[in-house]
Amino acid sequence: MNNKEILSASSAILRKAKQLGADLAGFASMEDLRSAPSFTFAPKMPGVDQGIGSRNSTTGMTSGKVKWPEHGKSILVIAVAHPKESPEMDWWFGRVSPRGNKILMQTIKELCNWIIETFGIEVFHFPYHVEKGGIYLKDAAVKAGLGCIGKNNLLVTPEFGPRIRLRAMSVNMAMPSTGPIAFDPCMTCEGVCRMACPQNAFDKQVYTAESYGQTLLPARDGVYSRPVCNGQMQKNIDFAKQAQPDGDAPPVKIIKYCRRCEMSCPVGK
Ligand code: B12
Ligand code: SF4
Ligand code: SF4
């Protein structure tokens, strides 16, 4: 494809992503992403592949390291809004994945098929967990121009604030990157997200630039404590109540993970 055709394919793919269910979509270069903060930090972080948000590794990579797909030049990141008015989009019904997650998976799946049929480009649907072949999605979203990393350690978008969930795929064609964008609402905000945390996960300096050899750290300045936040997730599991999802289905535990640092942010609709 020549440059004009690549530009036209890129716009068509981004349009299609939105038709299929994405609220936001963008392209990042895979080469750029290799040196992004999460990708360089995670392999140095103790316990990165242990705990609630991780799985046993099937990639053969060492802790925190990403297994990059062999054939992939650009990464397409999509976001689905999880508005305050629809909290159930983020709930786990027993072992059944949340509704928002199903929309994300289905959208990428359909997009993969459509891209192969339309352009004949090789694609790869990234699994959610890095230990299963996934990537660090927030950094990918920043590079794709969807938003910035906020003081709450989440991707904050101009449209929906941090109330979005992410998923990604790679395409074996160098698409023009759609980011990053000049957007940083945290510069002028006192950090209500941090104050809203029920576990005070942002209270102490946990990581320093000197120890990790990089200045961009969890929650920007290294104050986000993963084990403390993880403790809250465990509580959410332990105290989940049994309820009937719908119809005649048997009752299951509905897990509502903490979202206070997300819900308290004033940015977005
Ligand atoms: C493991 C995991 C967890 C673990 C550990 C979290 C952690 N951050 O360490 C636990 C279970 C505790 C957890 C909690 C939550 N999670 Co979680 N989690 C993940 C997962 C699978 C991997 C994250 C990870 O290990 N990152 C690596 C660590 C080392 O990086 P980090 O702490 O994020 O810090 C880096 C960034 O801040 C970055 N950074 C800082 N400044 C800058 C600046 C620039 C320019 C750039 C590019 C990057 C950058 O550099 C830091 C490293 O140096 C991702 C999905 C994925 N595949 O990416 C979801 C994900 C990050 N989680 C998500 C969510 C929503 C949550 C929760 C709100 C719980 C919930 N209800 O779902 C909380 C929020 C916690 C918080 N405030 O960060 C969403 C975030 C959406 C968003 N708006 O950003 C993701 C993307 C999943 C999804 N479905 O979309 N999670
Ligand atoms: S509440 Fe303020 S500091 Fe926190 S993420 Fe939102 S804008 Fe940034
Ligand atoms: S998800 Fe809850 S416990 Fe974790 S940092 Fe955010 S507010 Fe704190």
For residue range 177-221, list pLDDT tens digits in order: 999 999 999 999 999 999 999 999 999 999 999 999 999 999 999
For residue range 152-163, list pLDDT tens digits in order: 999 999 999 999
Nearest ligand, CA of residue 54?
1
Q: What is the 163 CA–ligand 2 centroid distance (Å)? A: 12
CB 248 within 8 Å of CB 241: no
Q: Which residues pair with 161 in a beta bridge?
A: 157
DSSP state of 35: T
| Closest CA to ligand 3's atom 6 | 261
| Closest CA to ligand 1's atom 10 | 53
Query: Which of 24, 89, 138, 199 is the pocket-test mutation for ligand 1 (most atoms within 8 Å of CB)?
Result: 138
pTM over 0.85: yes
Weakest mean pLDDT among 106-120, 150-164, 227-241, 247-261: 247-261
The verdict on the CB of residue 169 being under 6 Å from ligand 2 is no
Q: What is the DSSP string of 69-106?
A: -SS-SEEEEEEEE--TT-GGGG-EETTBPPHHHHHHHH
In the structure, which protein residues have their CB atom closer than 6 angstroms to any atom of ligand 1? 36-38, 41-42, 45, 48, 52-54, 90, 128-130, 134, 136-139, 142, 149, 152-155, 162, 164-166, 216-218, 220, 224, 226, 229-230, 233, 257, 259, 261-262
Q: From CA 261, how far away is CA 266, in angstroms rounded?
A: 11
How big is the chain, counted in residues? 269
Distances (CA, A) of 201 to 92, 157, 230: 23, 22, 9
